[in-house]
Amino acid sequence: MVKTKVLYQCVQCGGQSSKWQGQCPHCFEWNCLEELVTSGSNNRFQALNKKSSLVRINDVEVNEILRHPTNNHELDRVLGGGLVPGGVTLIGGDPGIGKSTLLIQALASLTQNPSSALNVIYVTGEESIEQIAMRARRLDLEVSDLFAVSEINLTQIIKMIEKEKPKVVVIDSIQTLFSDELTSAPGSVSQVRECAAQLTRLAKANEISMILVGHVTKDGSIAGPRVLEHIVDTVLYFEGEANSSYRLIRSIKNRYGAVNELGIYAMTEKGLKEILNPSAIFLSATSFETSGSVITVMQEGTRPILIEIQALVDESKQASPKRLSVGLENNRMAMILAVLNKHLNLSCHHHDVFLNAVGGVKISEPGVDLAVLIAIASSLQEQPVPKKTIIFGEIGLGGEVRPVVRGQERIQEAKKLGFERFILPRKNLPKKAIEGVELLAVDDVNSALNLVFN
């Protein structure tokens, strides 16, 4: 007879304790331990108990990573070229953002490509098979070779995968699955961790490309234990504003490719449409020069994207002027305002300052600092920045303009869209002149301001 063991597990951090306590001994949260009855046998771990031997790293034969392109260019870009056999990908996003739509479009394309047609299984725990079929018909997708099943029992799912031997499996979503070996409810810390671990071992052992869909919390992070993101090979976030039709898919972890890659889609009646030229959607269509508007180039992974920064500086009617930033960090704006006051004698102490990154994009890199400073100065002095001008560079607290990464790629991307005048850090100046482009190198914010408005 198999003995059972009673443990107490924290619902916050997943830590275990042999006895109940009012406070978790691991994360020190109160009233968060729940009873967990486990089996005394460890059969599910017996496969991991095989003997291992030491190997010199230089003796390990390294082969080129084989990938299965999904023919969805934006998704392939974020994945690093396609799905990797044995790789586990976790996709998180708000409810209704389009995760299931993205996956069924990618899988339909994957199964219909004659050169890379694969056996694919879509496991859903949230929707019925009829709902999936309705979505496929609404999007006019050819899914004759795509198989689907509605199941939340992990044991049944593993048996099915071992029998059918698919090359790609989608689990929608990991929070709906449960294992018979645990008594906790689906979606709990222990269930999510155990189900993800078993599916990952199954994927590695059978070279299956596994895609897990995850829920997100109110702050936008993937729900469940933090260890979930450590188990998988790739973590993608699918983002979008409620009042915008554009969707962004971003890579924050990728063992087989670059992180911080960005894919952009537009949500239409026929599903998600790839945006191959994202710079065009982040630039306003105004045909006249306006003060406070500056075009810059931000870098997302390997992709340079043109973005418009708008600033509005207005005399404040209150004792405490407002500082509002949309798409940019408030702390960075405060630093730029201090540099503006200290080194350029342009004070905003009695003015409200509003900043906006057009298109709803979120900017986290410092390469747009100089553009933000010029936009604020332009609005404050009511002097427009000349058309077809690109400004980029990082600002130091001493007023110096520092170089940014991938300066050459930023210049080439802006040139393709017709920009002719560049104000950039001196260390980003190309060694050879570029035909049809005026490159103006600057060392500090004072020289940058003089070049813009003279």
SS (H, E, C) 3-15: CEEEEEEECCCCC
- Tell me the C-alpha distance between 106 and 1, whole Å: 48
How many residues belong to the chain?
Answer: 454
- Tell me the C-alpha distance between 270 and 364, whole Å: 32
Q: What is the CA radius of gyration of the chain?
A: 26
pLDDT of 434 over the 90 cut: no
Q: Do both 106 and 203 map to the same domain? A: yes
Residue 46 falls inside a structural domain: no
Domain that holds residue 20: 4-41
Residue 51 falls inside a structural domain: no
Contact 157, 200 (CB under 8 A): no
- Tell me the C-alpha distance between 299 and 149, whole Å: 40
Q: Do both 267 and 398 map to the same domain? A: no
Position 311 scores a pLDDT of 96
Position 286 scores a pLDDT of 58
Q: Do both 300 and 385 map to the same domain? A: yes
State pLDDT tens for residues 340-388. 999 999 999 999 999 999 877 888 889 999 999 999 999 999 999 998 9
Question: Which one-letter amino acid corresponds to residue 124?
Answer: T
Kindly state the average pLDDT of the residues 194-199.
Answer: 93
Position 451 scores a pLDDT of 93
User: Which of 231, 248, 276 corresponds to the end of one domain?
Assistant: 276
393: helix, strand or coil: coil
Cα distances (Å, whole numbers) of residue 175 to 77, 149, 235 = 27, 16, 16
390-409 as b/e: b if 16+ CB within 10 A: bbbbbbeeebbbbebebbee
Position 244 scores a pLDDT of 76
Q: Do both 96 and 27 map to the same domain? A: no
Which tokens is 372 given? 């933000």
- Tell me the C-alpha distance between 174 and 224, whole Å: 10
pLDDT of 140 over the 50 cut: yes
- Tell me the C-alpha distance between 425 and 406, whole Å: 12
In the chain, the number of structural domains is: 3
Per-residue 3-state assignment (H helix, E strand, C coil) for 220-262: CCECCCCHHHHHCCEEEEEECCCCCCEEEEEEEEECCCCCCCE
**Average pLDDT of every residue of the chain:** 87
- The confidence band for 63, taking pLDDT boundaries of 50, 70 and 90, is confident
Cα distances (Å, whole numbers) of residue 159 to 136, 153, 154, 199, 209 = 26, 10, 9, 11, 17
Residue 60 falls inside a structural domain: no
Q: Do both 171 and 85 map to the same domain? A: yes
- CB under 8 A, 24+ apart: contacts of 269-278: 270/139, 270/140, 271/101, 271/105, 271/139, 271/141, 272/98, 272/101, 272/102, 272/105, 272/247, 274/72, 274/73, 274/74, 275/74, 275/246, 276/73, 278/303, 278/305
63-101 as b/e: b if 16+ CB within 10 A: eeeebbbbbbebbbbbbbebbbbbbbbbbbbbeebbbbb
Position 3 scores a pLDDT of 58
Q: Do both 449 and 332 map to the same domain? A: yes
Position 217 scores a pLDDT of 78
Position 48 scores a pLDDT of 41
Tokens 């009511």 map to which residue?
Answer: 382
Position 115 scores a pLDDT of 58
Question: Which one-letter amino acid corresponds to residue 411?
Answer: I
Cα three-residue angle 152-184-230, rounded to 5 degrees: 75
Residue 140 falls inside a structural domain: yes
